[in-house]
Structure 1
Amino acid sequence: MDRILEGAAMLVEEGEKIKVLVREFFKKGHKSSNKLYDVDLAGHAVLVNMSAKGTTRYQQAYESDKHRLNGATSHLDLAEKLVKMTIADRSGNCGEMAALSAYYAKKIYNIKRDLLYIGIVHGKGDHAFCLVSQEAIPDTARRYASMADFTNLKVAKSWLIIDPWLNTVCYASNYLTKSGEKLEKWASEGKRVAWMNGSQGAGWYVPNGEYKTEFGKAPLILDPF
């Protein structure tokens, strides 16, 4: 099988397989706590009076968060704890999904640990994904003022992103485009995302509105796996 880019550490097809594995892993446990369909289709945050489905979803979120792991010493440690959990106790959002993606890249495809990073979108972005590099990224090149700055780097064309939460695998240079397409699709399907940092406070927000805008402007750190 030819690689998409000469010398790339991992094929897109391999990243897709990891994404599927991670999504299947968490599908068997508690639903992630930050996605919901059919809550406030006008696109506004729902803070107190939710629909019956919204109330049920918050209960699922509560059950999910009860089982989320605390006290992990590294992303690798978190992933190792995740795979040891019983199916009934499995739960996770984007951070856990990113860590498990890196774990599978290391375990299944023998990607060296120093080529694996967890992209942590800070500020209003509030997200995480797995990044596979072709070579170790120096400390001085792991912080970015915005997601837009990060994706515009020349080297971003060789960095593979695996993002099971957004159901997306692509090179970093195309990440804002692909993630934006996914957020637009979710919005058209009536899906809302839980967001703590919106202008109306914590609640369920339309994915392709304020959240999408702030995601592109949010700062990023690439944290070693």
Structure 2
Amino acid sequence: MAGPLDQLALQTERSPALWATVVPAIRQMIVTGALAPGEHLPEGELAKALQMSRGPIREALIELEREGLVVLRRHRGAQVITLTAEDVEEIYTLRLSLERLAIERALPRLDAGHLEAMDEVLEKMRELGPDYAPQTALDLDLHFHGVLYDVAGHARLDKAWQQIRSQVAMFLHSRHVARRDFHEIAYAEHKAIRDVLVGGDPVAAATVIEDHLIGSYQRLIESRPEN
């Protein structure tokens, strides 16, 4: 059976710009758990598996450290991040603050194009059955919230979101694997966000986004192995 590094080599071997695929390939394997928390990522082994020099590998690991997926320690190399319950709480409270601002700014900026983008995601959520793939649930969830940040039109807010997005993706993927109820709740909760944007009420908008993210946080905590 092929190991994680063999899988990584297969994902990148045919790319015309090999170095450009290293970050997304390693990111995906961390998010989905193919590379486990605490697992070492030796530059030499990665370079050998991908048949490239260590330079692009080192750059990829530095980028993944910025995203919060990898820890780089001098003389010890790179490791996949291990996130504690405290880390989860910090990231979710930060995300809640970001999305409160995002929805507040989105209210006067929503247009037909944004609504169409949200409705496309909502329709896919509505069609999900109990056999949905965790990756599909993750992609739809992040896509919908990505539209919200786009509507907000705030470059620094979007940058702050991008800095925690990969860690949020880790949480969501593990939650979708452990707790198979996304098809039951996703459409209604995200449609409520869409509808409150159309309604234009800032108090209602703040309440909807808080209820959604607090509920998401609670479901994640309940799905974590230590619980």
Q: Normalized per residue, which structure has more strand?
A: 1
TM > 0.5: no
Q: TM-score range by the shorter chain?
A: under 0.3
Q: TM-score, normalised by structure 2?
A: 0.27
Larger RCO (alpha carbons 8 Å, 6+ apart): 1
